[in-house]
Structure formats: C-alpha cells, structure tokens
Structure 1
C-alpha cells in the first residue's frame, strides 16, 4: 500500500540537505552507493529502522549494514582488530563491509544487528553517498532499496519501481558503477571469514591479508550477515543456470562471445566487471522480456567462477533458488 509521495532529489547541495533532514526526522531515503542503491534510515532510531523492514517486507532476523562517512566513524561503532584495521586501510572507501563486535555505547538500534553482538559496517566509495553521510552526520542503516528478496536496484528508477509511495525520497545519483552488493568479511579470533562474495574480489582481500579467507558456514534461519538467505535477489521468472542454449520457452541471458545470439548478454566480450555492473538490470529486463514473449523462465549462460564471477554466480544461485512459501 502506498502511503506517501516519494520525492526524487537531485544529488546537489539542496537535494542532499533535504535528504539529510528527512533522515534526521526518522524518514526513509534511498541513495546511491558504488554497489547498489541503499534504503537509508538513522541507525540509532528504532522506529526509523523498523520502517526499513516494513517498506521492504524484510524478515526482522536479517541484519542490516551500517554506512558511515569514514573509518573514524566506523571505529566509534565497532571494535576493530588487526585484520579489520588492515582491510579498512586497504579498501575503504569501497565495496567491503566488515562484521565486527559492536562497541559498547554505540547507540545502534538492536533491529540493525538483529540482536547479534556484531555489526556489519562500511564506508561507501560513491561521492553522493559520502556527501549525504557527511551532511547527516551519523550512521545510516541501509540494505538494498528494493522489496525483500527481489532484484537489487542500480538506478533511481529501479528504486521507484519497487518502493514508490513507501519511502520519503530517493536521491538520483545515476547508475551504480559496481552493480553488486559489497563483499562481507567477518574478522575475529577465528581469522577472517568470507560471509558474502561481492563487489570486491576475494582474491584482493586475501592478498591484503597475506593468507586465504575462511569460508563461512551456511547459515540456518538466522543469517550472520545480509545477503545470506538461500533465496534472494530473485526476478519474477524462474532461472535455469549454466546452460549453453535456451529451450523454446526460455529467455536467454548470455555471457561472453559464445552467447552473442542471446536475448541479453551480460558482457559480449566476457568482461566480468562489465557483467557485474549489468547483472541486476539484466535480471529486471528478462522479466520484461518474459512478459512480452509469454515465456516463463530464463536460461543463463555459465559465468567463470573467478574474481567478480564468484559474486555474480552467488547472486545467480540465490536468484534461482526455490522461493519460500509466502515470500
């Protein structure tokens, strides 16, 4: 049900000031990051954070990522160890979220952490996001700005497609440059663990640490970090993965030179960076093509499982997973 008129704000001084004022008033504001558009709320305001879950239809056991303007602000909220310091120095601002112990007195709503003793936190690299965080002056909880379980938005139009009338505003900062959510790493006594592959390749993180990342255990019903639910990032139509060619009743989402005849191609030249940036828009487009053609599912070409390909394949597997009943 639509409850309000969603403002579309420009990424200039006036638009960012308006967005910051709305956040301070406990309202929801979508904004661009280099990964995807986030749906922001004051992370210290429990009512505002609850509004995120209501607008998205998001399970309350699924924690949120807190966005801050710089590493100093992050250290006021979370307890950093040596690995976290090394990764923050190497990759912030950028598409890396760290899961760390919450600092006593951080003042975060418990809805942000889903009752866990840890918090996922990052410093986004998008200049519009940085300007908004500086204008607001506090931590902003921001999952992807889309209905829960659906395709993440990489433009303001995508945000409005799913949340128009359910949020106060969206700052239109153009298309996201990375196009995949942040990589999530937890650090602690057990070492550094990869909780979710994303826009920063795991290989780069391992180089910075000087050792391999440990894989996270598959979560049960209570995820340790965002994006770990088995069914997530889902388009309307069913997906068949790792197929060389489509059946007659399938839309073909291709990758690379071998799939130049595909209805859509994530990267005709086989560029994983280009494919990552195009993925979520392509998942939306195959739904449109399916509606036009009457086809009920899509065939997806294989994508190499290296570098950003690991994150692309992670999103595709979750998009293709069986949907929860009522989800």
Structure 2
C-alpha cells in the first residue's frame, strides 16, 4: 500500500478514505493520531493490527462538534458543560458511560465507557467534519513506542500500512491529552492520564478537588484509558532516568560498564556532560515546556541512531506539566532510575 502525504487542499480526499474504511493519520496539538471510522468495527480492527496494539486497550473518539456527544453518552457528569466551555477544543479527553450499542465493542475495549476529545487543530476538525463520522485516533506509532510528533515520525512507523497522513508540521505540545474520568456523575472527576491540562488548572477552573489515578496497569490488566500501562512509549534502546545529583556517577558507571551513552536533556545538562557521551539530543531550552515538547522526538532520534546501548534522560519535578512529562518518561524507562 502506498502511504500518501495529504496537504491542506487534500483534506476532502483524506476524509473519503476514512468513509471508505481506510486509515489516515492526522495531526493534533498533542501528537499525531491514527484515524479510522469509529462506527466501522472492521476499520477499527485495522488500527489495532497495524499498531500491534492489545485489543483490550480502549481508543479515544475524536469529534468536531459538541452535539455529537449526545448520540453516544448515556449520562453526563454535572461538570461536563463547564469543562467543555473552558477546555474544548483542546488537549483534554473525557470518559463517559455510553449508550449500549452506540459504539462498536472494539472501540471501547469491551467497557461500558468511552473516551471523547475535540482536538485543537483546524485541519483535523475540518477532516472530521468532512468525514461526517467520529474518528478513533490512538497515537500513530507502533504500539508501546514513543508517540509521533511529526508526519515524518508517522511515516517511519506506518509507511505501507496506512492510506495516508494529513501533514501539519510538528505538534505544539508533544505529549498526549489529559484523560479525565467523568463516567460516574456522582463522583469528582479523576485524571487517568496527565497531560497539558493539569490538575492545578482543572481545580482552579472547576473549583473542586481532582484526584490523579497513579495505579500502574500491568500487562494482563485491561486499562480504562490509553497510556496506563506500566511500560509504554519505550524506544528499543534502554532508557534510564537521571536525578540531578547523579549525572557524574551515571556517566562514570556507563564508562566502567562499556555502555554507549546518549543524553536527552536541556542545554544546561548537555553543556556540562555532552562531551562525555556518544550522542546528545537537546531540548530547545531548560524549561519543562520545552522538555515535554521534545521528549518523544528526542527518544526517537537517539533510538534511530542505532549506535547507543542506553539513553540517559533528565528528570523534572512532578508538578504542573512535569506530571505529564514524568508520567511518559517513567513508562519509557520502565520506571528505572540510575542508582549508585
């Protein structure tokens, strides 16, 4: 199969592929998604097939109009309207109980709930509207690997497997959306996957306490939302998290154990330790925003060099956006920190 790169004037053509049951990757403000018609079970099964994704892992349904929710959601949480007003379109996914039979079982992973999002990307909103159907959109990469933040990343993983890719350049945020569980209208919302819409921001807007589900889903467990597995977002090269005080010891250990090291970090760390290792990938600056934007791209770049035996990655405080960064990094590293 030829995988076509669609530009802005070809969105209608890309939408026809979705209607016809084919797969087309699309851009969002977070990462690129792998699109299929959410109402065609056979098309959704193709998503699992080309990604190599476990079929118990539920998918996020992308919509372009709030009114589409009413076709599927059984019982809205009382905070839904306020959340939509403040955060849609945007990097926030909401989980609701759905009307029985309203979506194929393969979309929900066999659950009575489903996840919905309205992405903040004009091309993709036009893409969904022209398709006339809701579109599933897990990250457009091989399952378990770092998510794609450019069309080139998608092409690397999906060339010859899907009909096309709608290109809109690099994504703005770099990690997947916040997933908020609203399936029980009687309970406060709970974050199942942290993202750019942080706990602090949600609490300020909604004037209620928001919990974060820190449970790590094992391989034999069915997750309620994407990205909840114990290990995820992992390149083939081993990843290890480095605390600020451990860089010297980690570099020395690597040399003594004949490790070929790469470093993924901000300019401050790269300037101090970059000359001691084989390869580096620097975030654009030392901020958590830059780190979050560059995490997946950096993991991919260092892994694709095929020269390294280990990738050392800078950690950040688990506050605000740091919660999302560290959530992805811990899973990429299989929870492994360097220990002296």
TM-score by length of 1: 0.91
* Cα separation, 2, equivalents of 1:7 and 1:20: 13
- The aligned residue for residue 8 of structure 1 is 5
CA shift, 1:128, in A, is: 1.1
1:190 is matched with which residue: 178, 183, 187?
187
* Cα separation, 1, equivalents of 2:335 and 2:47: 25
- The aligned residue for residue 242 of structure 2 is 242
CA shift, 1:191, in A, is: 1.5
2:85 is matched with which residue: 79, 82, 89?
89
- The aligned residue for residue 255 of structure 1 is 266
1:309 aligns with 2:322: yes
Q: How does 1:37-186 map to 2 (within 5 A)?
A: 37-78=32-73, 79-104=75-100, 106=102, 108-186=103-181
- The aligned residue for residue 226 of structure 1 is 226
CA shift, 1:104, in A, is: 4.3
Kept in 1, the 8 Å contact 2:72–2:98? The answer is yes
Range with bigger deviation, 250-259 or 164-173: 250-259
- CA 202–256 in structure 1, closer or farther in 2 if over 3 Å, else same: farther
Which protein has the larger Cα radius of gyration, Structure 1 or Structure 2? 2
- The aligned residue for residue 277 of structure 2 is none
SS at match of 1:17: helix
* Structure 2: stretches of 5+ with no match in the other structure: 275-279
- CA 83–256 in structure 1, closer or farther in 2 if over 3 Å, else same: farther
Kept in 1, the 8 Å contact 2:2–2:163? The answer is yes
CA RMSD of aligned residues (A): 1.7
CA shift, 1:61, in A, is: 0.1
Range with bigger deviation, 67-76 or 16-25: 67-76
1:265 is matched with which residue: 282, 288, 292?
282
CA shift, 1:105, in A, is: 5.5
- Count of matched residue pairs: 313
TM-score by length of 2: 0.88
* Cα separation, 1, equivalents of 2:124 and 2:289: 21
Deviations 1:28-48 (A, max 9, x none): 000101110000000000000
* Cα separation, 1, equivalents of 2:304 and 2:161: 23
* Cα separation, 2, equivalents of 1:205 and 1:75: 23
- The aligned residue for residue 216 of structure 1 is 213
* Cα separation, 1, equivalents of 2:30 and 2:173: 5
Kept in 1, the 8 Å contact 2:11–2:127? The answer is yes
- The aligned residue for residue 22 of structure 1 is 17
